[in-house]
Structure 1
Amino acid sequence: MKYLKHKLYGSLFNLFKIFPVSENRISFIIDSNESFKGNLDYIKKEFERRGNFEFNFFYKDKLSLGSFKKLATSQYVFLNDNFFPMAFMSFKNQAKVVQLWHAPGASKKFGGSVASPDELEMLSKISDNTDYLITSSKRIEDYYAEAFQIDKSKIKALGLPRLDYYFENHDLDKIKSEFCKRYGCDSNKKIILYAPTFRDERKYNNIFDYLDLKSFNEILGKEYVLALRLHPKIRDFYDGNIESSEDYVDCSDYESEQELMMISDVLITDYSSIMIEFAILNKPILFFIYDLENYLATERGFYYDFKTTVPGKLVYTSEELTDAIKNKDFDKDRLSSFTKTQFDEIDGQSSKRVVDFLLNRGR
C-alpha cells in the first residue's frame, strides 16, 4: 500500500509505450514550483545550440494523457531530483533517462546511505530505469552508487550543468547595487553571506543565541554587511524572531542563490552543502559550528571526516568567528584539496560534456 500511488502512476505511463519514440523530443521532469530547474535550463540551452529539438516540461502533479504521451515518446528524459514513480515506469530502449541531480559533490549522507530496507528497494528500482547518473567527480562515485543504489557503470562524472553559470559574463556591480537597494544596505561594504542549515533539534536553530550580533557589527560593521540566508525549514523550527534590521539583512527570499554567492566576499556556514558550490569561487569560507558534537551524534553524518576536510577554518564561538573575519584568518589552504575531490573539471563546459556524451550515444 505504501507505494500504491507510484505503481498506479507507472502503470498509466506504461500504456503509452505503444507509441514510437520521437528522436528530436526531449522531456524534463519537474515540480510545479520549478524547483531545482537550473541543470535542466542549461541542458536545454545546450541542445538548442545543436539543432532543432522539441522540448517538453513534464510537471509531476499536472497530469494529462498528452503529457504522458510526450514523456513516453521522448528520446531523452532528464530529472533533477527524486521521482518515485520512476520505479514503476518502463521506457523504450531507444530512450535515455538521465538523472542530473541538483547538488554538486558529496557532503552529507543521503538516499541509500541512510535509507531503510524498503527505501533501498525503491531506489534500486528507480536506478534500474535510469540510464545515466551525472556527477561532478569520479572520486565521489562510490558515495553516489550507495546513495542511488545504482551500478557504477551508469555514473558519469561529466560535471554539474548549472555551474556553467559562473563562467558566463555577469555585471556583478549591477547585481550588487540592485541587491543593496532592495535590502537597504551600503553597496560600498563587502558582503558576508551567512547560510546556516536546518537542525532537527529546535534550540540549535536559534542562530542568534550563538551569534552575538551587537559585537559582530561593532567590530566588523564598518567594512561588512551581514546577509542572512536561511534554510527554508528553519522558520518552522525556530523560537525567536528573524526579521531584517539594521544589524543584518534577511535575504532568504532572494531568488538566485548563485547571484548571492557571486557578490559575497565571505561565506559563513556550518554543515550546508552550499560550501561545495562556494568553494569553486575560491573565496573564504568559515564554518560556525557551535553545535558540532551534537550534530555529528544526532544527524545523518558525512561522507568524509568533517573536521579535517571542509574547505575553511572551523570556529565554535561568536568571538572566534568575529576574530577570524577581522584578522582574515580563513585557512584557505583547504580549498584546493577539497575542490579537487568534489570536481574533476571546473571550466564552464559541463553542459557541453553531457550533451556531447548523449549525442555520441554514450561514448
Structure 2
Amino acid sequence: MKNFLFKLYLDFIKLILRWTPTNENLYVILNGSGRSGSNGYIFYKYLKSSHPEIEAVLVEPWPSSHLSWQTWKKIAAAKYIFTTHQPFKIKRKQICTDFWHGIPLKRMGFMAANDSYQNDLHNMKIWQSKADRVVSSSALYDTLMSACVGIEGKKYVKTGFPRIDALYKPVISKKQLLQSLFKVNDEIGKIGIYMPTFRFELNDKKIMNKIEEGNFFAFSDFDGEEFNKELQRLHHYLIIKLHPYEMKLFKATEQQYSNIIFLENNYLEKNNLDLYELLGSTDYLMTDFSSIYFDYLHLNKPIIFITNYLEKYEKIRGLLITPYQNVVPGTVVTNQSELLDQITSLNPRDFESKRNYWLKLSYTVSSQDNCKRNFDTLN
C-alpha cells in the first residue's frame, strides 16, 4: 500500500513540475546509498571541489516523500541527474546517469529466485525509459547487470565508479582511524572491517535472533569476549558495519569491546565522510556476498569470506557466478574458530594472483580519476 501511495505521489510531482525550465548548469545527485560506498556522494564532493562553475545539489535520503518543494523544483530543473539505484527523471530532456551501487555477485531482478516476473518487467521498463547512461567498469559488469535488469548494451559508458577514487585516496590515515574509533595509538595495529550483506532477506528468525543477541557473525560458536581477547593479543582492531536494519536490532544488546567498534552512519555524516574514504586505511576485509569485495580488490589486501549460511542464501536468492568457493579470492570460513585461525595467520601475499585476476576481469578501465572521467564524458 505504501509503495502504491508513493507512486501516486511521484506521478503527481512529475505532472506538476514537468514544464519547469531546464537549468543547463544544474547537477542533482539522488543518493540512495547513504554513506556506505556511495558513488553519488563521492561524485557530489568531486563536483563541489573541482567544478565551482556549476551548481551541484545532493538529495538524500532518496527516494523520500518528505522532500521540500524547493528540492523538488531543483530536481525538475536539473539538466543532469545522477542516481545510485533505480534511474529517475521528471522530464524527457533531462539526462539521467545511473551509477548503481556495486558490481553484483548476488542475483537480483530477473535472475533472483525470490523476485516476481511482473515486478522485474516493470523495473526493466523504468531502466529503458529513464536511464540515458549507465556507468560501467567492464564487459563483465555489463553482462551481469543486463542479465538482472535488462539494460540495453548501448546505454553503458565505461567511465568507472566514483567511489573507487576514494579507495585510492583515504582522507583518514590508519593512525588517525585507530585514534578516532578505538582511542588507541598502536604502531603495529592492524584494522579489519566486517561488512556482511543484508541478511534479513534470508527470512530466518534464528539468524535475526542471533544478531539481536549481539552475535554479529551469526556463528553457532560465537563468543564475543573470546574473539575480542584474541584481537587484543594480535593487535588487531575490527570495524563492524552492519546493514542499518540489523544495527537497529543489535543496538538493544550492544556490548562494549576494546578492539571492536560498530560503525554507524551518524559517525560518517557527522564527519562528512563516506565509508570508502576511510576504507583504504584498513588492512583486510571480511564479508560474505556483498559486492564490496569487488571494490576492495583495488587495494590488493586480504579478504576473508564468511559463509555460515551460503547454502541457504543460494537457495533463497542465488548467486550470479558459481561455484562460490572457486570465485572468491580469499579464504572461506564458516565459524568463529576458523575465522580466528585465519586472522592469526593472515598473509597479504595469499590469494594475490587470484585477486589481481578478478580485478582485471571486473575493472577494465583506468582505476584512477573516475569522477573526472564521468564529468568529462557528459557532453
Asked if these proteins are the same fold (TM beyond 0.5), I'd say yes
| CA displacement at 1:183 relative to structure 2 | 2.8
Structure 2 counterpart of 1:301, from 304, 318, 340: 318
Alignment partner of 1:144 is 2:164? no
Identity of aligned residues (%): 24
| CA displacement at 1:173 relative to structure 2 | 4.2
8 Å contact 1:46–1:355 — kept in the other structure?
no
Q: How does 1:25-36 map to 2 (within 5 A)?
A: 25-30=26-31
8 Å contact 2:17–2:76 — kept in the other structure?
yes
Alignment partner of 1:202 is 2:180? no
Aligned to 2:72: 68
8 Å contact 2:306–2:333 — kept in the other structure?
yes
Alignment partner of 1:356 is 2:376? yes
8 Å contact 2:174–2:282 — kept in the other structure?
no
8 Å contact 2:228–2:260 — kept in the other structure?
no
User: In structure 1, what is the Cα distance between the partners aligned to 2:198 and 2:252?
Assistant: 15
Q: What amino acid does structure 2 have at the position aligned with 1:233?
A: Y
3-state DSSP class of the match of 2:244? coil
8 Å contact 1:91–1:129 — kept in the other structure?
no
Any gaps of 5 or more consecutive residues in structure 1?
none
Q: What amino acid does structure 2 have at the position aligned with 1:24?
A: N
Alignment partner of 1:222 is 2:233? yes
Aligned to 2:305: 287
- TM-score when normalising by structure 2: 0.79
8 Å contact 1:43–1:161 — kept in the other structure?
yes
Alignment partner of 1:334 is 2:342? no
Structure 1 counterpart of 2:331, from 313, 316, 321: 313
User: In structure 1, what is the Cα distance between the partners aligned to 2:77 and 2:98?
Assistant: 18
Aligned to 1:231: 243
| CA displacement at 1:216 relative to structure 2 | 4.7
Aligned to 2:186: 187
Sort the Cα spacing of 1:245 and 1:238 in 2 relative to 1 into closer, same or farther, 3 A.
closer
Query: Quick check: 197-206 or 34-43, which moved more?
Result: 34-43
User: In structure 2, what is the Cα distance between the partners aligned to 1:65 and 1:213?
Assistant: 48
8 Å contact 1:24–1:75 — kept in the other structure?
yes
3-state DSSP class of the match of 1:209? coil
Sort the Cα spacing of 1:13 and 1:325 in 2 relative to 1 into closer, same or farther, 3 A.
same
Aligned to 1:52: 53
User: In structure 2, what is the Cα distance between the partners aligned to 1:216 and 1:67?
Assistant: 47
Q: How does 1:7-46 map to 2 (within 5 A)?
A: 7-30=8-31, 38-46=38-46
8 Å contact 2:27–2:54 — kept in the other structure?
yes
Q: How does 1:240-251 map to 2 (within 5 A)?
A: 241-246=253-258, 248-251=259-262
Sort the Cα spacing of 1:269 and 1:124 in 2 relative to 1 into closer, same or farther, 3 A.
closer
User: In structure 1, what is the Cα distance between the partners aligned to 2:19 and 2:245?
Assistant: 43
User: In structure 2, what is the Cα distance between the partners aligned to 1:154 and 1:291?
Assistant: 36
Sort the Cα spacing of 1:345 and 1:242 in 2 relative to 1 into closer, same or farther, 3 A.
farther
- TM-score when normalising by structure 1: 0.82
| CA displacement at 1:265 relative to structure 2 | 1.6
8 Å contact 1:124–1:148 — kept in the other structure?
yes
3-state DSSP class of the match of 1:18? coil
8 Å contact 2:36–2:276 — kept in the other structure?
no
Any gaps of 5 or more consecutive residues in structure 2?
269-273
Q: What amino acid does structure 2 have at the position aligned with 1:331?
A: F
User: In structure 2, what is the Cα distance between the partners aligned to 1:173 and 1:151?
Assistant: 42
8 Å contact 1:16–1:69 — kept in the other structure?
yes
User: In structure 2, what is the Cα distance between the partners aligned to 1:70 and 1:196?
Assistant: 35
Q: What amino acid does structure 2 have at the position aligned with 1:183?
A: F
| CA displacement at 1:96 relative to structure 2 | 0.6
3-state DSSP class of the match of 1:250? strand
Report the aligned-residue RMSD.
Answer: 3.1
8 Å contact 1:192–1:268 — kept in the other structure?
yes
- Size of the alignment, in residue pairs? 348
User: In structure 2, what is the Cα distance between the partners aligned to 1:168 and 1:55?
Assistant: 22
Deviation track 1:118-146 (CA, whole Å, cap 9, x = no partner) reads: 21232123211221111222212122123
User: In structure 1, what is the Cα distance between the partners aligned to 2:176 and 2:47?
Assistant: 28
Deviation track 1:277-323 (CA, whole Å, cap 9, x = no partner) reads: 2221111111122333233223x121111111112111233333222
Q: What amino acid does structure 2 have at the position aligned with 1:261?
A: L
Alignment partner of 1:107 is 2:85? no
Aligned to 1:278: 296
